[in-house]
Copies of this chain bind each other. A is one copy, B any other.
Amino acid sequence: MENYGEYFKALREAKNMTLRDVEKAADVSNAYLSQLESGKVKQPSPLTLYKLAEIYGVSYELLMEKVGYPIPNKEKKKEEAEKKSIAYRVGTISNDEELELLNYLKFIRNRKK
């Protein structure tokens, strides 16, 4: 995102907080927050983003993405999503159910020969 300063400002105003409110909550100076919101900051540290994410109720990863940091597993997330798809479609599975499924899978895998 090019001008993410406005975005941070919007987040803060959505929470009806002043720069000094956030300063206290996040332990980040109002001076720096002001600079951040007016686009004078390039790459705020992950820790700063983490604290702001908590306060503003958005995900840490989202803020990482906004400021242009690489975010973990952007690729792998999809592979994992595929692998997980069975589990997700199936919902929560009890231990007993899992055991039966594994046995059944073994069965169908041996069935052919």
Contact = CB atoms under 8 A, between A and B. Distances in A.
Interface of A: 43, 45-47, 50, 59-61, 64, 69-73, 80, 83-90, 92-93, 97-98, 100-102, 104-105, 108-109
A97 B102 contact: no
A84 B79 CA distance: 12
B101 A72 contact: no
A60 B87 contact: no
Interface centre among A43, A50, A72, A88 (most CB of B within 10 A): A72
A8 to B, nearest CB: 18
Given A83-B88, A86-B86, A97-B108, A47 B69 contact: yes
